[in-house]
Amino acid sequence: MPGIYRRLPAAGFGNAERGQGAKPGRPAPRSKPLKRPSQQRARFTVNAIYDAFVRIWRARGWDAVTTRAVALEAGFSVGTLYEYFPGKEALLSGYVRHTVEWLLGRIDAEVTQAVGQDWRTRVARLVAITCGADDAASGIVFDHEMLMLEARIAEPKHHRRVFDELAQAWQRALAACDDLPVMVDQATVVSLVVAVWGARRYRLLLHEAALPGDAWQEQMGRICLAALGGAPQA
């Protein structure tokens, strides 16, 4: 799966950004990893770097993310870090892509490829995964702070690409429901993804204060079940 963020010329970890005087909302310089890990050892290395990045960021804030700090926390040399990430925006970009691929992979494994599930069970799981169920327990972080940093690395076309990938994943998952009471067209799928994914992102803007997570996820499930042709079970 290709990366979603382009590379632009920029400064490295912990250095003053050359793009500080740029217009708000434009991506920060050099906001793309240099390469994607293909071998198991490389994937292990990059995942360890991501874990270290998240721990530092959440404990001490964005300004504390530096080459030395991340390398020390991950247990790798600074040179190893620079093999993949030329700067902290590139690291953020790679991590955001990692969370997207995690989401798409879970939908495929737990919904589309699941065996012996009726359509209600599949849809409930599809909604739960898209709402971020179990992300925290798996070490995946997608929160208000990350959302606030997106403008450093992403343009509208990147958001569109992620949305299209998610809509396609939903389409495949619903196509696997051979007992759906009605045929589902693309417009319905897109509308449901807008409702669930859009609500998740807006809740993050509000620091998740608008509605408790469990109640919100349950309501999203009810909406989707109703839209797909069956009244929610009591």
pLDDT tens for 170-194 read 999 999 999 999 889 999 999 999 9
DSSP string for residues in 29-71: SS-S-S----SHHHHHHHHHHHHHHHHHHHHH-GGG--HHHHH
What is the distance of C-alpha 78 from the center of its chain? 26
Note the pLDDT tens digit of each residue in 150-164. 888 888 999 999 999
Q: What pLDDT score does 229 carry?
A: 83
Q: Are 166 and 130 in contact (CB under 8 A)?
A: yes
Residues in the chain: 234
The per-residue pLDDT of the chain, averaged, comes to 85
Q: Are 93 and 153 in contact (CB under 8 A)?
A: yes
Second CATH level (architecture) for the domain 95-234:
Orthogonal Bundle (1.10)
Note the pLDDT tens digit of each residue in 46-99. 999 999 999 999 999 999 999 999 999 999 999 999 999 999 999 999 999 999
Angle formed by the axes of helices 213-227 and 186-205, to 10°?
170
Residue whose structure tokens are 């799981």: 125
